[in-house]
Amino acid sequence: MRRGDLIDVVGFDADDTLWECQDTFDAAEQLFFETVSPYASEGIDLADSLRSTELGNLAISGYGVKAFGLSMIEAAVTATGGKIPSRAIGVLVDHIHDMLREPVKLLDGVAGALQSVAQTHRIVMITKGDLVHQTRKVRTSGLSHHFEHIKIVLEKDAETYQGVLDEWNIIPSRFLMVGNSVRSDVVPVLEIGGFALHIPYHVTWDHEVVNTTSHAFESLDSISMVSNWLANEAK
Amino acid sequence: MRRGDLIDVVGFDADDTLWECQDTFDAAEQLFFETVSPYASEGIDLADSLRSTELGNLAISGYGVKAFGLSMIEAAVTATGGKIPSRAIGVLVDHIHDMLREPVKLLDGVAGALQSVAQTHRIVMITKGDLVHQTRKVRTSGLSHHFEHIKIVLEKDAETYQGVLDEWNIIPSRFLMVGNSVRSDVVPVLEIGGFALHIPYHVTWDHEVVNTTSHAFESLDSISMVSNWLANEAK
């Protein structure tokens, strides 16, 4: 029996699984450092200030570019004791709006990989982030026709996966999740009895890094290998 | 035959239908005017500047407090030619984060009205806005147990309603939508052949005002009257 015979539906993460995301945040952080450091109070660790502000706001503002932008501005004012000129803040706000407008950059092999998997399996997308921004990325990606359902969630934990799969009448034990984050795409899906494939991306947001996991899981080097994985014999 | 017999599911809007919303935005605008006007360039109409910035960003940043906050900061820098000190920007950012934390203020009669309707009908929520913020409001409102489904959408047009009702297997002609916006809650639902009840709120965001409508629709003075409306004889 093939692995694919054990699976009804394949779920894909989006950011850094289908298209680039973390690179854009890293570039924005660089802009933040360059813009803010000339005015930073002595002894301030700007990276730490930004990170703490982001994490402090996470529960109320969530993931995504707009939440990040507001945290960046808050950190810029705080870390400079108000000494940063508002024109420099204007540069940061403009950059945030540019990020929201940025064309989607599909990762290598994504279009072909989805087409292959779609020939044998139903496909859904489960992703975190900002509703408007993710919807825009899905719509402009040229990939949306592959997805039977698309869900943008606040947090990818076991409870959320269980709820989303229930809503779509998908049996967890017949569901495979594919994504770049062990914390968000792999561990919670294994916890509810599903399959998961990790496809590492070259950069990972610190927040998504898990140092240890009690779960054994499989990694593939590329999303192009998912359809082969499905076609192989189950052990 | 009662009207309620013609209807399977009742949908409720959230902002300014179940809980206060526009008042908070109006208060934030007042803070914006007070904070920015001492530095505003001569001849600048601050209200116009804020409104234009908001509408210009709507397509990429959407509705909701975070999008509004970024527009407010952009307008503050632009309308003052960068003369506003960043400490004042910090006040605006802090206020945005406060808005995200604000306790939900239910409108009069809402809890009882939902309870009454729930005795005879399935209830869903369809609302615009920010995913994190709306989810937080629903969770903390104490009302979420009434709702079979909750959907946060980008825009409430006929196509969106049709898609959401299809997803939930609800027949439009047996669906009633209740909300404070003629533009978002009434007209598009009538367009897809559903029922709609308008419950005016004392303030309406300019963007939601429609000056003319070719649709005849019913208004109720209070959400408490919905269950009576359902119990009355259909004409």
Residue B41's pLDDT is what? 87
pLDDT at A215: 66
Nearest Cα residue to B10 out of B164, B130, B117? B117
CATH code at position B63: 1.10.150.240
Q: What is the pLDDT of residues A148-164, one digit of tens each?
A: 999 999 899 999 999 99
Indicate if A78 and A15 belong to the same structural domain: no
pLDDT confidence bin for A193, thresholds 50/70/90: very high
- Residue B13 and residue B72 share a domain: no
State the ipTM, two decimals: 0.84
Task: Among A101, A125, A158, identify where a domain stops.
Answer: A101
**pLDDT value, residue A208:** 60
Residue A207 scores a pLDDT above 70 = no
Rounded to an integer, the average pLDDT of A162-191 is 95
Residue type, B22: Q
Residue A22: how many CB atoms within 10 A of its CB?
Answer: 16
User: Is the separation of the CB atoms in A208 and A21 below 8 Å?
Assistant: no
Q: Which of B83, B87, B136 sits opposite A77 (nearest CB)?
A: B87
pLDDT at A126: 97
pLDDT tens for each residue of B146-176: 999 999 998 999 999 999 999 899 999 999 9
pLDDT (average), residues A16-28: 94
Q: Are B8 and B121 in contact (CB under 8 A)?
A: yes
Measured between beta carbons, the chain A residues lying within 8 angstroms of B84 are 86
The reply to whether A217 and A109 lie within a common domain is yes
According to the model, what pLDDT value does residue B63 have? Answer: 84
Name the domain count of chain A. 2
This model's pTM is above 0.90: no
Q: Identify whether residues B196 and B111 lie together within a single domain.
A: yes
Q: Is residue B127 located within the same domain as residue B63?
A: no
Q: Give B198-232 as a DSSP string.
A: E---S---GGG--S--S---EE-S-GGGHHHHHHS
Between the alpha carbon of residue A37 and those of residues A25, A42, A99, A126, the distances in Å are: 18, 10, 21, 37
| Shared-domain flag, residues B227 and B167 | yes
Among candidate residues A36, A69, A101, the one where a domain is terminated: A101
Q: Which chain A residues are closer than 8 Å to B138 by Cβ?
A: none
Provide the shortest C-alpha distance from residue B218 to chain A (in Å): 32
Last residue in a domain, options A71, A101, A131 = A101
Question: Judging by beta carbons within 10 Å of its beta carbon (0-12, 13-18, 19+), is residue B212 exposed, middle or buried?
Answer: exposed
Q: Are residues A125 and A189 in the same domain?
A: yes
Q: Which residues contact B105 (CB under 8 A, 6 or more apart)?
A: B19, B20
Q: Domain check: are B10 and B113 in the same one? A: yes
A233 phi, psi to nearest 5 deg: -65, 135
Cβ separation A86–B90 shorter than 8 A: no
Q: CA A153, A156, A159, A164 torsion: positive or negative?
A: positive
CATH number of the CATH domain containing B225: 3.40.50.1000
Name the nearest CA neighbour of A147 among A175, A118, A176.
Answer: A118
Using CA atoms, how far apart are residues A153 and A135, in angstroms rounded to an integer?
A: 12
Task: Flag residues of chain B having pLDDT under 70.
Answer: 203-215
B145 and B226 share one domain: yes
Count A/B contacts: CB-CB distance under 8 Å. Answer: 106
For residue B79, the enclosing domain spans: 22-101
Q: Are residues B73 and B139 in the same domain?
A: no
- A15 and A44: one domain? no
Instruction: Give the H or E element holding residue A1.
Output: none
Residue contact A82–B87, C-beta within 8 A: yes
pLDDT of residue B217: 83
Q: Which residues pair with residue A233 across a beta bridge? A: A2
- Tens-digit pLDDT profile for residues A107-150: 999 999 999 999 999 999 999 988 889 999 999 999 999 999 99
Closest Cβ opposite residue A87 in set B60, B82, B96? B82
Q: How much of chain A exceeds pLDDT 90, in percent?
A: 84
Structure tokens given for B4: 């309620």
pLDDT digits (tens, 9 = 90+) for A42-100: 899 999 999 999 999 999 998 899 999 999 999 999 999 999 999 999 999 999 999 99
Instruction: Say if residue B96 is in the same domain as residue B119.
Output: no
Round the average pLDDT of chain A to a whole number and report it.
Answer: 92
